[in-house]
Amino acid sequence: MQIGVETSRAVENKRIFVVDDDEIIRAAVQFMLHDEYETHEVPSLENAFEKSKTLKPDLIFIAESVLRAAGLEVLSELKQKIADAKLLVIVDSLKDGYGKEAVAAGAHGFIAKPLTLEFVRQKVDVLLGRRQGVAIPLTVLS
């Protein structure tokens, strides 16, 4: 068990898919969350759609590279096929504004690399309704 993990959360059985074509990022995010959430590494959107037929996620992390390859319109498809799942985009940088574009296209939020344990958990907790969100100006994050 990781330090700082609230064990009562582990029994809530919230499910997260981490959709990224980079195996290392998938594993890192899965490691950050696995003690409190049922976290699944998924290498592609096709795999996410297939897996969601039997396991409905509460939250889906989507890598910028995966989203760029599929196009922002796939966010609408995700919302239709995997209803009620929150969509969180992992962007490579805040500088190009892709996270804001993804939110405008239907994502529930974005998080920029480099990913930190505390910020990933905080963002997930806010999206899944476990904690009140605090708006952080983008100027502070860049």
Would you say residue 116 lies in a domain? yes
Of 94, 132, 92, 119, the closest CA to residue 29 belongs to 119
Total domains present in the chain:
1
For residues 95 and 28, what is the distance between their CA atoms, to the nearest angstrom? Answer: 23
What pLDDT score was predicted for residue 13?
82
CB 19 within 8 A of CB 42: yes
This prediction's pTM: 0.84
Model confidence pLDDT, tens digit, residues 66-99:
999 999 999 999 999 999 999 999 999 999 999 9
Contact call for residues 85 and 58 (beta carbons, < 8 A): yes
- pLDDT higher than 50, residue 142: no
User: From residue 126, how far is each of 31, 43, 46, 53, 66 by CA, in Å?
Assistant: 19, 25, 27, 25, 24
Question: Which CATH number goes with the domain that contains 20?
Answer: 3.40.50.2300
- Residue 1: inside a domain, yes or no? no
Establish if 95 belongs to a structural domain: yes
Residue 48 lies in a domain: yes
- Specify if 2 maps to a domain: no
> Which domain, by its residues, includes 23?
7-141
Q: Are 58 and 38 in contact (CB under 8 A)?
A: no
Instruction: For residue range 17-74, list pLDDT tens digits in order.
Output: 999 999 999 999 999 999 999 999 999 999 999 999 999 999 999 999 999 999 999 9
> What residue type is 1 in one-letter code?
M
